[in-house]
Each structure stands twice: as C-alpha cells, then as structure tokens.
C-alpha cells in the first residue's frame, strides 16, 4: 500500500511540476513573440500559440520526468543498498557509484 501511494504521489507531483514549468515557459515564449510583434519581427501571438506551446512543453517535460523516475525506481530495485543510502542521505546514483567503486578497489 505504501508503494502504491508513493507512486501515485510521485505521479501527481510530476504532473503539477510539468504543468507549472510548461505554463511558465510557454508564457515566456509568448511574451517574447509579443515583443517581436511590437518590433515587427514576427506575427501577433494568439491564444492558440500559448496553448499549443504549453501542451507540447507539458508533454515533453512530463515524459522526461517519468523516464527519470522509472530509471531511479529501477536502480533502487536492483540495488537495495543504494535504496537505503538514497532514503537515508539523499545521495545521487553517480556519487553512490563512485563510493562503491572506491570500496571495491
């Protein structure tokens, strides 16, 4: 039950973070296009530009985060020592590999 709630919470957090950054970046690009239209460099921005860019950015960011989460879950399942260290100290996998390699050498 704890794992299912953790996965659901991670999924919801992923959706919220992706939506936040998508709206923020899409708004920034829309503002740049609006400034460009004032300088007669490009066309006037529309609501469909904002929504289309936001949806594309949301999908890209969401998929990127999901791939990162699945990769981290796979590493934790394959290596229980890394799982314990990551939960206790928040160590990254890169740092864990360096420590593990120093220990083995």
What are the pLDDT digits (tens) for 33-81?
889 888 888 788 888 878 888 898 899 989 998 898 888 888 888 888 8
Pairwise CA distance, residues 57 & 51, whole Å: 10
Residue 20 confidence class, pLDDT cut points 50, 70, 90: very high
Closest listed residue to residue 18, CA positions, set 60, 53, 54, 61: 61
Are the CB atoms for 33 and 49 separated by under 8 Å? yes
Pairwise CA distance, residues 90 & 97, whole Å: 14
């Amino acid at each position: 039950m704890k794992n299912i709630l953790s996965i659901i919470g991670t999924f919801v957090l992923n959706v919220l973070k992706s939506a936040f950054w998508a709206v923020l970046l899409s708004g920034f690009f829309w503002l740049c296009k609006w400034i460009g239209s004032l300088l007669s460099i490009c066309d006037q921005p529309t609501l469909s530009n904002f929504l289309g860019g936001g949806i594309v950015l949301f999908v890209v960011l969401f998929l990127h985060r999901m791939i990162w989460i699945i990769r981290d879950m796979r590493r934790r399942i394959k290596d229980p020592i890394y799982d314990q260290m990551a939960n206790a100290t928040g160590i990254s996998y890169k740092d864990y590999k360096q420590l593990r390699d120093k220990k083995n050498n």
